[in-house]
Structure 1
Amino acid sequence: MLSEQSAATVRATLPAVGAHLGEITERFYAGMFAARPELLRDLFNRGNQAAGTQRQALAGSIAAFATHLLDHPDRRPDVMLSRIAHKHASLGVTPDQYAIVHEHLFAAIAGVLGEAVTPEVAAAWDEVYWLMANALVAIEKRLYEEAGDPGWRQWEVVERATETDDVVTFRLRPVDGGPVPGFRAGQYVSVRVELPDGARQIRQYSLTGAPGSAERQITVKRVNGDGSAPDGEVSHHLHTHARAGSVLELSAPYGDLVLDGAADTPLLLASAGIGVTPIVAMLAQLAETGHRAPVTVVHGDRSPAAHALRADHLAYAGKLPEGSVHFWYEADAGESGRTGLVDLAGVDVPAGTRAYLCGPLPFMRTVRAQLIEKGVAPADIHYEVFGPDLWLAQEGQA
């Protein structure tokens, strides 16, 4: 994929570029948003920008892609590219925006590395960028075609249900009364709202209803900030303003964390906190299709009262002939589960299990390590990160 001359240059300069990626991406976003403020206002997540997580994710993806080109020159990192492309498609990213990114990213590289960016170095990293960008454009084009490229569509809230103190479920129908395309369990939609300052911010929320429904259902946790990140602008807006009769803008469904495998494949579905949302949709599909093989359901939360969609979690799992449920709660478990953090030491994991994980990064790292110890193949462990993929970022910068 990468020319021999460029590969040699990238290999020689990757340590220096990698060491400065944080500074490069910070300068890149600052320069791009100064020149194109509408991108921050209406496309990029302002909360992730404030917290710095988007910069980490971008740096990680660049490093991971470049490293893959060097280590595996005969194949493309399609798993990584697919994850990025699904997120981009849900935002409505267009091919011309890659040229904007290129302009400001390479200005940032030159600004940080100075004279080290010779014409040869610039040409080599330019090749890396366009290999990645063109691959993403091609994947996103296919995703748009598969979705029928509907763009943004208006949906009316027909019901709002309180799940916990900070989690609400919205049931929605299309305002135009048209058909509701299907989706695959585990996918998400983007929701775009106009905030008081006029910004039209976008966030992704997992679809929590059963595939095949004539409606859409999303479950939204109110994100409360801390010292490292602000409150969630869109989640607070939805909790405060969205009621029955409200109209929201939704994208088509996207996302690559979807059930795969035959009906006789053992599955393990592990979640923590609001990571339960795609897992509940998966369980709904498995219950509807009558999955015959063992399904091990694992969840960790603060308490039973904080466990969003707990009734659905239990109900769908209870419909599976070979389903088993293992809940852990940090406090007040009572008879509802085990007290403490999720620990698979005493959980039977059948041979040939495919696992799907969703939750905070430390939780998923721990569960993944325990599954591998139990003999689950790494290729059979799939995960979803809400927000920028910092798992990828950390691996790319390791």
Structure 2
Amino acid sequence: MLSEPSAATVRATLPAVGAAIGEITELFYAKLFDAHPELLRDLFNRGNQASGAQKQALAGSIAAFATHLVDNPDQRPDLMLQRIAHKHASLGIVPEQYPIVHEHLFAAIAEVLGDAVTEEVAAAWTEVYWLMANALIAIEKRLYAQSEQTGWREWKVVERIEETADVATFKLRPVDDGPVPGYRAGQYVSVGVTLADGARQIRQYSLTAAPGSPVRQFAVKRVTGDATTPDGEVSNHLHAHVREGDILQLSAPYGDLVLEDTTAPLLLASAGIGVTPMIAMLEQLALTGHSAPVTVVHADRSPATHALRADHLAYAAKLSQAETVFFYEQDAADAGRPGLADLSDVPVASGTQAYLCGPLPFMRAVREQLLAKGVAPADIHYEVFGPDLWLARQAA
């Protein structure tokens, strides 16, 4: 992995780089998009750039990777690398783009840290970068080779279902009438759309049907912004403009949060639109006749905002040992428990495998309660929609 001289240099300079990493990534993206505006227009999520979420995720990943290398010189943080590589593959990232990132990232490092970036320091951090980049390139190459679909493919919307006031399900079939490639429950596809200003923006949406479905099916929540976060460009475009008969571009399925073939007890915990991968998992369990206990936990504002609630209940009812525990901040009545998710009195069987998806505060709280109940850290798996601001801390 990291050479001994470079490890010593990185260890010595890590505090300075870590303290400035936010400023470095801010400058990096400014330089990158100034030189390559097409990347912001057609590849990077403009909303995440505007909110700063992508910059935080990049900063955390670089710092975590470097820290891991100096603390564990013979190991790679594969969880972090796999998660990033799946997202990259869904976007169609290619090896030729990594030198471009290196050029502008190191220009930013040199500008922010100034004279502290000696030839020795630059060489050490270049080694860190290419260890990470080459690992990602190798994983992405394998993912592309394993995929049944190369590049983007056109799909026609055959049905649109209004799940709630802010969530719509889209069902699609391939325009070429070719076979529908397989996937694993919990995976997502990237959806590419051309917006009114000509930009091509890409977002990821979890597939909500079990593997084997003859259609691609995903649910989209309309993202409404606030003072610090803009409205979701793609989600609002899909809600406002995409109807039955329209064509969308979809990637192959990717994602490393997948339902494993197991006879262990399971806990599927979600909040808000985080329900989407859980629905595919739950349907898969119903189809395969999973006989161990399955605890289905969901938190939402109200039953009316609980997207795919009927599916949640229907698939759970098909399992022999399933329990649904729903939490609603409003209008709980007989539909669930009032308030935020709380597992303190929810039984969790020994050996449980847990899958989480939802906002970070929700997942942090659920994870802490599961650990307190004896669930092993390695048995708690999660998915984050958007830049993974938790992964770097988990991997470090």
TM-score by length of 2: 0.99
Residue type at the aligned position of 2:289: G
Alignment-derived partner of residue 351 in structure 1: 350
Alpha-carbon deviation of 1:304? 0.2
Which letter maps to 1:376? V
Distance 2:120 2:26 in 1: 24
Structural mapping, 1:129-278, within 5 Å? 129-262=129-262, 264-278=263-277
Q: Counterparts of 1:395 and 1:291 in 2: how far apart (Å)? A: 30
Counterpart mapping for 1:48-87 below 5 A: 48-87=48-87
- Cα displacement (A) at 1:325: 0.5
SS at structure 1 position matched to 2:344:
helix
Tell me, yes or no, if structure 1 residue 125 matches structure 2 residue 118: no
Asked whether the equivalents of residues 271 and 298 of structure 1 are also in contact (C-alpha less than 8 Å), the reply is: yes
Which residue identity does 1:316 align to in structure 2? Answer: Y
The change in CA–CA distance for 1:149 and 1:9 in structure 2 (over 3 A counts) is: farther
Deviations 1:343-390 (A, max 9, x none): 001100000001000000000000000000000000100000000001
Give the Cα separation in 2 of the matches to 1:74 and 1:35. Answer: 37
**SS in structure 2 opposite 1:164?**
coil
Cα deviation, 1:310-358, whole Å, max 9, x if unaligned, reads 0000001111111111000001001000000000011000000010000
Cross-structure match for 1:367: 366
Distance 2:76 2:52 in 1: 28
CA distance in 2 between partners of 1:319 and 1:286 (Å): 9
Letter in 2 for 1:154: E
Deviation at 1:148, TM superposition (A): 3.5
Shift of 1:261: 4.3
Report if the CA contact (8 A) 1:60-1:396 is conserved.
no
Q: How many residues of Structure 1 are paired with residues of Structure 2 in the alignment?
A: 396
Amino acid at match of 1:172: L
**Superposed CA offset, 1:158-200 (max 9, x none):** 0000000100000100000000011100000000000011000
2:144 aligned partner, one-letter code:
Y
CA distance in 2, matches of 1:179, 1:88: 24
**Distance in 1, Cα, partners of 2:181 & 2:209:** 13
Deviation at residue 392 of structure 1 after TM alignment: 2.3
Q: Which residue does the alignment assign to 1:110? A: 110
Whether contact under 8 Å (1:32, 1:101) holds in the other structure is: yes
Contact 2:77/2:395 (8 A) holds in 1: no
> 2:193·2:249 contact (CA, 8 Å) conserved in 1?
yes
What's the Cα RMSD here? 0.9
CA contact (8 A) 1:60 1:395 kept: no
| 2:325 aligned partner | 326
1:20 alignment partner, SS class: helix
Contact 1:28-1:105 at 8 Å conserved across structures: yes
From the superposition, tell whether residues 267 and 396 of structure 1 become closer, same or farther in structure 2 (CA, over 3 Å): closer
Structure 1 runs not aligned, ≥5 long: none
Moved over 4 A (4+): 393-397
Query: Match of 1:317, as an amino acid?
Result: A
Write the distance in 2 (CA, Å) between the matches of 1:150 and 1:174: 14
- Correspondence for 1:298: 297
Is contact 1:292–1:320 with CA below 8 Å preserved after alignment? yes
AA aligned to 1:302 is: R
